[in-house]
Structures are given as structure tokens and as C-alpha cells.
Structure 1
Amino acid sequence: MYYSNKYILASLFLVTVLVVWLIWKVERNKTPLSSKEKCLDCHKQVTDPSKSHPVEAFGCYQCHLGNPYSTDKASAHYGMIRNPGDLEIVAKTCGKAKCHPEQIQRISRSLMATNRGIIGTLLERWENRDNPDIDVLYIKTNGTGKSLALDLYVKMCAGCHLWQKREPHKGWPKNRGGGCSACHTVGKFNKLKKTNTEYNHPRISTIIPVENCLRCHNRSARMGLSYLGIYESSGYGTPFHGSSPSEKRLTGRRFYMNLPADVHWKKHQLLCIDCHTGKGLMGDGNRYNHFEEQVEITCEACHLPQFRLIDDTDAAARKLASSNGKIMLPKNISIAHAKKNSPLYNLQRKNKSINFFMKKSGKEIKFTPLDTTRAYHNLRGHERLRCQACHSRWMPQCYGCHYVYTKSEKQKDWIWGKKSLGRWKEFRYFIRFENPTLGVDFDNTIMPFSPCQVLVRTRKTASDRPVPTGTKHMIMSAFDPHTTLKESRSCIDCHRNPKTLGLGEGTLTRKTGKWTFSSVFDTS
């Protein structure tokens, strides 16, 4: 009987412990209210990330996880996430139910996350692979194999994608990547006082500053720089200031010059998001290979707008305007739409008045659509011209992009953060900006083209002479350079300029009905 009671008591004790543990487990996994959190017992004053994310209502656990019930530092910080926007854990933070699950599903498949465009172009041009279904996550899982193109990507190009983590990096690279935080956080997390109890939290905002866009869009097509009138010049530091190279430097100690900025920036300081839509930037859930497939905005969307009267059932437009907080959508108002029917809630028409609203300030700009009756917009033979063909006055052009690959040296990659054999060094020559070449784009329209001549040479050691690998391409890329001016290129600038026609720099003459081109360079 004694042993029976002993076993009963032991069993009851174990059951009690199990029940207590289960209750603790359930309570721990519940979404706590900030009033129950212990985080703020130590971090007594933390500034609100935004009006829609007040600390008093959300607390810390909702975004940063950890153990919100413990006052022990090690226990409280166990499992805590420094960057809730990290795409690897975002399903537990920003993307959980009742927060932003739909946006997370879209952004993880967008071009800024997958880098399918960069990877696909490299494999297509270097290895003749047709439409390879390879993205960042594929490389993280399967590696680069023996692909020289993928080795270049992970070591030279993969610093700009949204799956990229911020924590391991120092200096300017740490501002790239980070998932949602790459675009939507402004400022830094820092202590206000030495007591470790007061903190200035980075702001969370849907008003993305140009500086955030420039973190990535300052290389390759360099659209972010060009929009502001910044042209990355040759690496010689010209024009000289006195007897020294130019002091104008970009990240990576690159020299630059100032050229005319895009009229949208110069005249009104429009942000990138004033034109670009959420789905155009964050994706619509589909996996695209090229940015022109994902981007929704066109010149015509604003300058030849098609308006539609909205009502209280137009949830998408109402939600966007409500999130913005600066732009109102009154009754009986019509709004424009982008090419995939996404609402441009900041371009409105009421009666005969058309107004464009800046998303950051809500400032109203009176707007006059394009007059298509003007002769210069109705010239026969110009039907296929895109707006950029005439109104983009300059464009970054790199005719010499040369890589040297040293097999015996190691280089750290951007995917795994580890060093592996094979070190790349980039050289750029003959950088130009004037007279963009025009060409036929994939949709049979005429667009500005930028050339990129890629030459790859390899060597075993740094003391060896580099040997060409056979990877040599002149790639012509069509894109909007974001250097729009109101004044267009002249007739002569297109029809009598051999560079615009794709022949190169030189002289174009006509004798006895025959055109002759003389290049300024030796092409023999």
C-alpha cells in the first residue's frame, strides 16, 4: 500500500509538471500584448517605429520574437531576431497572419529577391543556357558547380538581393538586403542615453526615400544615379581639381560627374515611389525573368492617363491611400491606372481638373496630359518610338567591362559569406554618356540601348599573364535610363548621328545616293 501511494504521488507530480509545462508552452506561443511583456521593463523608452506600429500596442515580441516573459537577459534574448524583415524568418514576423502575409508571398518571388534577371543573363550569354530556371535560393541550396558565370555572380553581383542578410557585413554593404528592411526602414537603431534603457528605433515607412533605392541601383544600369544627375565617370579621376584627381567619389571610391538630372527630380523632387507601384516593385506573386515584365509604370500611364471612377468598393485604391495618410480619395473621384490595372491613387481627376499628388508630402501638382495632336508626336515612321528614345538625353555606356580571374587566390562570396578559390577583379574602360544608341526592343519598339563589352581572362597565379577564356560578348541592353528631359533630341541627332544608329562614333556622309561611314577608331 505504501509503495502504491508512492507511485500515485509520483505520477501526480509528473502530471502536474507536464500540465504546467504545457500551459507555459501555450502561453509562450501566444501573441502577447505589450502590457504583459517584460522587454519594456529594461528597455523603458523606445521610440515608435511608425504610427501604425506603436510600441505601446505592439511591444517588442511581435516583431523581434525572443522570450517576452523573462527578465533574465540571456533567457529574454534567446531566439530574438535583430532584423524582423529578414526573408528567412519573415513568415514569423512581418508575414504572419493579420500582418502582411500577402506582401511577403509577393516579395519573396520578385526580381529584387530572386535575381533571376542577372543570373539568367549571365548563364545565357556566358554558357548559352536558354531561360535557365535558377535563382538565389537555387544557388544557396545547390551551389555554383563548375560554372564560371555563377562563381562571378556569387562573388561580384550577389550583394544586391532581398534574401541577403545584413548582419555579417560592415560599412556600406550592410545597408543592402535585409528583406523588408531594405526598403521600409529609415535611420538606425541607437541608444539615446548611456543607461541602455532609451532607444531610438528605426522608422518603418511606406514612403521609401531615394537613398534607400540608391543602395542597390548605383551599379549596372545605374538608374538611381542617373535620375539624380550623377554619372559614374572613368577611373582616372578626371576632371582634375588643380593637380589632383577629382574628389567626387561614390561607394567603392568610384569617381563621378554631375550631368542634367531627370526632369521629374529636377523640377519636383519626385521620389521613385511617386511613379512606381507597389506591385511593380515588390512583385505580383509571379516569378519573372526580366524587369520589364514586373514593372507596371509607363510614361503613358501618367501622360496619357486612362481614368476610372472609383467607389467605396474599390478596396485596393482605398487601402493604398489610407496607408499613405497624405492623399485623400474623396467621393466621385477618378484615378488613373498602371498597365496591369494597379491603381495610381495619386493621379486623380475631378471634373476637368487633373492633379498629381506627391506621396511623401501630399503636395498637389496641377497636371496637363500630353497633347497628341502636336505634329512632333504624329510623325509618320515614329509609331514605334518609345518616349525614352527622344527624351532620354544621356545614358551610362560602358564599352569595356573586363574581368581577370585568378584561380589560386581566394575571395569571399555574398551568398554563404565564405572564402573559396577563384578571385575576380573588374576593370572598366571607355565609359561614355552622350548620344545613346537606339535599337529595337523585345516588343518591336525603339528604345535607348547601352552596350556592355564583357571580356574574361583567367590565370593560375597573380604573376601569370591572363589568358582569354573565349567569353567575349558585346551585350546591348535596352532600358529607361531615367534621364528624361522635356526637350527632345533633334532630328539630326538621330538621323545623321552614326552612334545613335548603332554604327559607332565616326562620320556619316552621303555621296551619289550612297551612305558611307568612317569610324574614328581602327576597326581593321
Structure 2
Amino acid sequence: MNRYILLIGCALLLTAIGLAWWLETRAPQPVALTPTLTGETEYCLTCHANLDEISSSHPVETFGCVICHGGERLALDAGLAHSSMRGGANPSDLTVVEQSCGGANCHSGDAADGRDHIQRVTTSIQVNYTGAITSLRYTFGAQPDQTPIYGALAVTDTSLPSQTGILRLDLFDPAAETSPSLQAFGENCLTCHINAEPAAGKQYQRYTGCAACHSPALPLPSLGEGRGEGGVVHTLTTAIPYSQCNTCHNRGNYDLRTMTFIERTDQPTNQLSNYPTNRLQNYYQPIAQFTQCEYTLDCVDCHTRTEAMGDGDIHAAKADIQYVQCKTCHGTPAELPLTQTLTDPDDLAFRLAFLNPVVDLQLGDTILVTEQGEPLWNTLVLPDGTYQLVGKATKQVFTFRPVMGSGCTQDGRDQSSAYCHTCHAVER
């Protein structure tokens, strides 16, 4: 009997040893990476070696993966390795972005160095939706005036002194509203601020947080595929195509009587296979009126980083932060557009051009600038007095002349869209 038990025990032991050996031979061999910024070995590339490098300013040898994504750096089991990741697969979600992307030398640095990205984004109109929230609460009698009180995120303006006098926003809670219309607004109309989960449907699909804009879901001519394993987008770029903006914009209109979103009947395809020749149909809604440059260019070719990402202050409405006009690039019959000759190698224009190298800026080049001094770094003043613009997402080269000397009879003081559309509207 004892011999029988001994034989069974030996058989079980040998089986266990064999199983352990089999599992060991099947286990992935660790691929070690020791990023220079952390000096700590991590094994993420054991499974994720096929992911594209996320951007030229975030080389994997320098940053690695864990410094941004979190996770258990020495784990080889997927569940354990991913158990402490920030934001799931998206460390730019605004609930974790300070931990993932913050720091004085990264994206929560000094405003004077242009590194206060997180502060600017979290206080921006695109994130907080405070213009719509404030307007509707005032309309339905929930507040006495149109001074912003609530936003889609609770934020505080830390870039003091404030230029707007709005120092904080509390979190908008539709359930706390007594008006059925405001409750319906909260239920149906808060999917477009960039840290909200998008509405259902392929045409609305995007990430949240910074990646809502900077990680386009489609390949771009200026980037290549920008994808890793399983079709996961692993790209951060400032070459943002209009189709990415259209995951929120130009998709339809709100019915203020029912507080519902009415989709346009000709939903844009968002396919770039015929990019950009299908833009005339896809870019704007059928009811919209626009000029040729408004649909030929991408949104980021006109709207500046301050308009899109904010300036660190809390603003009451989109009109308070959006300031670029036709004259910014074209001038008026009486004035040429503003320009700047680049003499400082540390000029912000060079950093922006490095992030999206569609142009080769050189010291001594003269570029267009906005009235607030923002460099339009993808433009160039040519020797013959004409101007050149290179599309940030398409690399297309456009050459144009100033209004001055063209015979245009425009009143340069009127920069409204309707006024310019009188002569320059495109017929579809």
C-alpha cells in the first residue's frame, strides 16, 4: 500500500515538474527596455513591440511606456501588467492626465515656455462646454445672468491674474436641475465635450481627453498609418485632419424644443481614401455657407492652438476665445497681414514646426502671425510679396495674394463670415 502511494506521489511530482517546464518554455522571453528618463527596466515591449512610436517627441528609448501609461513594469502576465494602467489604454483622459503627462518639463509647465497644456485644455471651452451650459441655464431660469457657474468639469483657473475674472467652474449636475429641459439637455447633449464618451456610431468614434483630437482614427498623408497591433491608434500628432474635428462638429443640429440632437441626413463618410476631393460634400452641413479656403484647408490651418486648446483662462463662450479672421492671413484693402521675421532659434514657431515637420523653417524666414502674436508657423512670406501656406494635415501647398492692391472693395472693419461670403461663397 505504501509503495502504491509512493508511486502515485512520484507520478504526480513528475507531472508537476513536466507541466512547469512546459509552461516555462511557452512563457514569453522578457524584452527589457530601460528608458533614460526613469532608469528603471520595464518589460512592456515583450508584448507590444509592434506598436508604432507614438511621436517623434516621445521616443520610446527616452520615455518608455510606464512613465505615461502606468502599469506594472516587470509583469509578464497581461492582466497584472495592465492592472494599474492610467486611463485604461488612454493616459490622456483628463481624469488622469496630470499624473500621466504633467510635470514642469512636460505638459503642466510654465505658461511663458508654452508648456501649460493641461491647464489650458482643462479650462477651455471645448472641454467645459460652459457656453452652452450657461446659456441654457439662464434661458430656463436656473441662474439670474450669463455669468458661468458650471462646466462639464470642475476646474479652477490657476493662471492668475485672470483676464476674464472667472476663477472657477463647479461640476454641472443635470440631476440637480429642476427644469425638465435642463435634465434632458444633460442626458442628450453632453457627448461632444472632449472628455465625454462619444455618441454611438462609427462617425462619432474618438478617444477622450487630449487624444480626442491628437490621435486621429484614420491614416493621414503626412503620417502614414500611425497604427499598431489590432488596429489600435498609437499616434500623437498636431497634423489633425478635418475628419477628426467632424467626430463632434458638423454632424447635425440640436432641437432646443426637445433637447435632442438631429443628425444631418448626409452623414460625412470620414474616409480619406479620396482625401481631400470629397471634402466639398463631407466638410460642412448642407445648410452651411463657406468660402473655398474654409473647406480646402483643414480646421487646424486656420484655428490656432489658443483657440482650440484655450489660453489658461476660463471663458464664458466660444466667441470670447475665437479671434482669427479673414484679415489674419489676407489683410484688408488698407492693411497687409501681420508678419514676423524669425531671429530667435528658441521661437515657438520652430517647436511647432518640429512637432509637425510639413515645413522647413529657417532663421530669417518671415511668417504670418495673428493679432495676439501667435505664429502661423506653416506660412511663409515669399520674395514677390505673396504668401504660402502648407496644409498641416495634407502637406498641400497653397499660394495666395494679400487683399491690398487686389481691387477688392471690402470694408476691412467688417470681418463677419456673411460679409465675406457675399463675394466668396462656394456653390455646391
User: Quick check: 1:175–1:182 contact (8 Å CA) kept in 2?
Assistant: no
Q: Determine helix, strand or coil for the equivalent of 2:378.
A: strand
SS in 1 for 2:239: coil
SS in 2 for 1:392: helix
What does 1:335-414 correspond to in 2, within 5 Å?
335-353=367-385, 354-371=387-404, 374=407, 376-377=409-410, 385-392=414-421
The residue type equivalent to 2:392 in the other structure is: K
2:317 to 290, 301, 309: 290
Deviations 1:37-69 (A, max 9, x none): 112223343222233334444332122111112
Partner of 1:43: 48
CA RMSD, Structure 1 to Structure 2 (Å): 3.6
- 1:93 and 2:100 correspond: yes
**1:74 counterpart (76, 79, 82):** 79
Partner residue, 2:308: 281
2:300 is paired with a residue whose SS is: helix
Q: CA deviation at 1:300?
A: 0.8
**Unpaired stretches in structure 2, ≥5 consecutive residues:** 1-35, 109-115, 154-169, 219-225, 255-260, 270-284, 332-336
- Cα distance in 2 for partners of 1:121, 1:276 equals 24
In structure 1, C-alpha distance between the alignment counterparts of 2:57 and 2:287, rounded to whole Å: 39
The aligned runs of 1:2-401 (5 Å cut-off) are 32=38, 36-81=41-86, 82-101=89-108, 102-127=116-141, 129-130=144-145, 131-137=147-153, 138-139=170-171, 143-165=175-197, 171-172=201-202, 175-176=205-206, 178-187=208-217, 192=229, 201-219=233-251, 248-249=266-267, 262-264=291-293, 269-304=296-331, 305-312=337-344, 315-353=347-385, 354-371=387-404, 374=407, 376-377=409-410, 385-392=414-421
Higher strand share: 1
Structure 1 residue 186: deviation in Å? 2.1
CA distance in 1, matches of 2:268, 2:304: 28
Q: How many residues align?
A: 332
Deviations 1:357-389 (A, max 9, x none): 2223444322200136736325xxxx7633422
TM-superposition CA deviations, 1:130-161 (whole Å, max 9, x none): 02421112335795332434313211211011
1-structure distance, mates of 2:80, 2:399: 57
Paired AA for residue 175 in structure 1: Q
Distance in 2 between the 1:107 and 1:95 partners?
Answer: 12
Q: Which one of 478, 482, 485 corresponds to residue 425 of structure 2?
A: 485
TM-score (norm 2): 0.67
Q: CA 1:323–1:249 in 2, change beyond 3 Å: closer, same or farther?
A: closer
Asked if the contact 1:301–1:339 (Cα under 8 Å) also holds between the matched residues in 2, the reply is: yes
Q: Deviations over 1:465-514 (max 9, x none)?
A: xxxxxxxxxxxxxxxxxx95279xxxxxxxxxxxxxxxxxxxxxxxxxxx
SS in 2 for 1:335: strand
Structure 1 residue 284 displacement after superposition: 0.5
Aligned 8 A contact 1:47 1:200 in 2: no
82-91 vs 145-154, which moves further = 145-154
Larger Rg: 1
Which is bigger in relative contact order (C-alpha 8 A, separation at least 6)?
Answer: 2
Q: Distance in 2 between matches of 1:47 and 1:373?
A: 48
TM-score norm. by structure 1 comes to 0.56
Cα distance between partner residues in 2 of 1:271 and 1:37: 39
Change over 3 Å in CA distance of 1:83–1:140 after alignment to 2: farther
Measured after TM superposition, the shift of residue 262 of structure 1 is: 3.7
Contact 2:129 2:151 (8 Å CA) reproduced: yes
CA distance, structure 2, for counterparts of residue 374 and residue 174 of structure 1: 44
Equivalent position of 1:514 in the other structure: none
CA contact (8 A) 2:205 2:247 kept: yes
8 Å contact kept, 2:204–2:247? no
Q: 1:123 to 1:71 in 2, by over 3 A?
A: same
SS of match in other structure, 1:204: coil
In 2, Cα distance between equivalents of 1:215 and 1:204: 17
Structure 2 residue identity aligned to 1:282: M
Distance 1:50 1:212, change over 3 A: same
Aligned counterparts of 2:306 and 2:294: Cα–Cα separation in 1: 22
Gaps of 5+ in 1: 1-29, 194-198, 223-231, 238-247, 394-482, 488-524
Q: After superposing the two structures, state which structure 1 stretch, 118-127 or 173-182, moved more.
A: 173-182
Closer, same or farther in 2 for the Cα pair 1:486/1:313, shift >3 Å? same
Change (3 A) 1:42 1:282: same
Q: Which amino acid aligns with 1:335?
A: I
Tell me if the contact between 2:253 and 2:262 (Cα under 8 Å) persists in the aligned partners.
Answer: no
Bigger shift: 272-281 or 48-57? Answer: 48-57
Q: How big is the shift at 1:187?
A: 2.7
* Map of 1:429 onto structure 2: none
Deviations 1:421-454 (A, max 9, x none): xxxxxxxxxxxxxxxxxxxxxxxxxxxxxxxxxx
Secondary structure, counterpart of 2:136 in structure 1 = helix
Q: Contact between 1:355 and 1:365, CA under 8 Å: does it hold in 2?
A: yes
Shift in Å at residue 355 of structure 1? Answer: 2.0
